[in-house]
């Protein structure tokens, strides 16, 4: 059951494009078994200075990436990966940081422009379809507050609680009447992969490879379910901003936050990375392919050369990792350290952000 529901959510970021294109067309999570310990350098992950300010050094090392057993086939096979050291942002990029970028460059995000099909494979028949008029305005994807499960149309599944909101963008996360004035320390959202790349270029940084992301998220531990261990709430404490309560009807915010949280509201992992699990999905540089782990090179894998999602083969997708405030144990469980997600590269949503790396010492 859970897998079916998960399949529904994987469509969610793509749902907007598909709808525009007029294509009307539980189980228990298996715990990865302990793997051989990583052999990281002993160098301390000391905080950076200058252009490395706000970053931590992730020492070179090797680890077992993915899951040895999982209900999610794209996490397998677990495979050995070796990485050079790199710097990584301690936190997700905040609204304040993104505002500096926009102020300096005048950059306009894709959600602030009329939609275009920017992430269709050249062979996709959808490229010839018109954008429906009601969606042919700037906007982005938000969740629709529900008052009861009766509002969920079984035939629509996840479409029941996601909607395209005209005027929603990073400055107005829930639509034109919302603002980020009191959220400058929250992660920026409604950021597409293409937007994130532009920010990185400006900042002299890059998006992490998926392997870098998972290695860093594991925090020097191996074979754990979460960045902090194998228990979701050790000693009853929440270690990341996710969803509690009946999904998607009522978020009890038992972790202290409904929606995004200011970055750094929870303890860091073994490398001092904050919110690496939960809060917002984080873009990685890599194209998404579910079978990449069977092809991955050992040293510094940079992802496949093209994207392929069998659920939507016509759309170019990039990897997202870490889960968000919308993830619950009844649903996408994306906050697990091995969980993989994908999104079309030109589309953000109100739970999608990023953090950066620098690949030099």
Name which of 325, 295, 42, 83 is nearest 189 in CA terms: 325
* CA angle (278, 283, 289) in 5-degree steps: 110
Q: Which two tokens stand for residue 328?
A: 């619950």
Q: Which of 72, 161, 164, 257 binds Ca ion (CB under 5 A)?
A: 257
> Least distance (Å) from Ca ion to the CB of residue 329?
12
- The answer to whether the beta carbons of residues 1 and 26 sit under 8 Å apart is yes
Please say which residue, 199 or 325, places its beta carbon nearer to Ca ion: 325
Please say which residue, 191 or 261, places its beta carbon nearer to Ca ion: 261
> Least distance (Å) from Ca ion to the CB of residue 337?
18
Please say which residue, 179 or 252, places its beta carbon nearer to Ca ion: 252
The count of C-alpha atoms lying within 13 angstroms of the C-alpha of 52, restricted to the half-sphere facing its C-beta, is 15
> Least distance (Å) from Ca ion to the CB of residue 251?
6
Please say which residue, 257 or 266, places its beta carbon nearer to Ca ion: 257
Residues contacting Ca ion: total by CB under 5 A: 4
Residue ranges in 291-350 that form contacts with Ca ion under rule CB under 5 A: 325
> Least distance (Å) from Ca ion to the CB of residue 232?
13
Regarding 241 and contact with Ca ion (CB under 5 A), the answer is yes
Please say which residue, 118 or 250, places its beta carbon nearer to Ca ion: 250
Rounded CA separation 173/162 (Å): 14
What is the enclosing helix (H) or strand (E) of 18? helix 12-20
Contact region for Ca ion (CB under 5 A) — 23-31, 73-81, 252-260, 330-338?
252-260
Residue 241's Cβ-count burial label (10 Å; 0-12, 13-18, 19+) is: buried
Q: Which of 89, 255, 312, 344 binds Ca ion (CB under 5 A)?
A: 255
Rounded CA separation 175/350 (Å): 10
> Least distance (Å) from Ca ion to the CB of residue 6?
19
Phi, psi angles (nearest 5°) of residue 52? -95, 10
Binding site for Ca ion (CB under 5 A): 241, 255, 257, 325
């Amino acid at each position: 059951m859970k897998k079916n529901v998960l399949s529904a959510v994987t469509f969610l970021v793509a749902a907007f494009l598909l709808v525009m294109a007029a294509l009307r067309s539980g189980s228990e999570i298996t715990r990865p078994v302990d793997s051989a310990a990583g052999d990281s350098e002993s160098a301390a992950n000391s905080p950076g200075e200058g252009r490395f300010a706000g970053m931590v050094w992730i020492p070179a090392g090797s680890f077992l990436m993915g899951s040895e057993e999982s209900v999610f086939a794209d996490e397998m096979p677990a495979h050995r990966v070796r990485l050079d050291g790199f710097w990584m942002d301690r936190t997700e990029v905040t609204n304040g940081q993104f505002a500096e970028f926009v102020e300096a460059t005048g950059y306009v995000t894709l959600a602030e422009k009329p939609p275009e099909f920017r992430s269709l494979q050249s062979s996709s028949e959808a490229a010839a379809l018109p954008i429906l008029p009601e969606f042919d305005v700037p906007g982005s994807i938000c969740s629709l507050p529900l008052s009861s499960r009766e509002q969920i149309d079984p035939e629509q599944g996840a479409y029941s609680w996601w909607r395209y909101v005209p005027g929603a963008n990073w400055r107005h996360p829930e639509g034109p009447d919302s603002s980020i004035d009191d959220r400058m320390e929250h992660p920026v959202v409604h950021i597409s992969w293409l937007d994130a790349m532009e920010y990185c270029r400006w900042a002299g940084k890059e998006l992490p490879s998926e392997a870098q992301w998972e290695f860093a998220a594991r925090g020097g531990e191996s074979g754990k379910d979460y960045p902090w261990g194998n228990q979701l709430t050790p000693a009853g404490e929440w270690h990341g901003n996710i969803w509690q309560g009946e999904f998607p009807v009522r978020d009890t915010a038992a972790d202290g936050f409904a929606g995004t949280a200011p970055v750094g509201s929870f303890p860091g992992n073994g490398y001092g990375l904050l919110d690496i699990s939960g809060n917002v999905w984080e873009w990685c540089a890599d194209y998404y392919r579910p079978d990449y782990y069977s092809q991955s090179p050992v040293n510094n894998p940079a992802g496949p050369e093209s994207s392929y999602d069998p659920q939507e083969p016509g759309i170019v997708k990039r990897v997202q990792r870490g889960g968000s405030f919308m993830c619950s144990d009844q649903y996408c469980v994306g906050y697990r350290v091995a969980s993989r997600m994908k999104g079309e590269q030109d589309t953000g949503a109100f739970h999608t952000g990023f953090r950066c790396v620098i690949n030099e010492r």
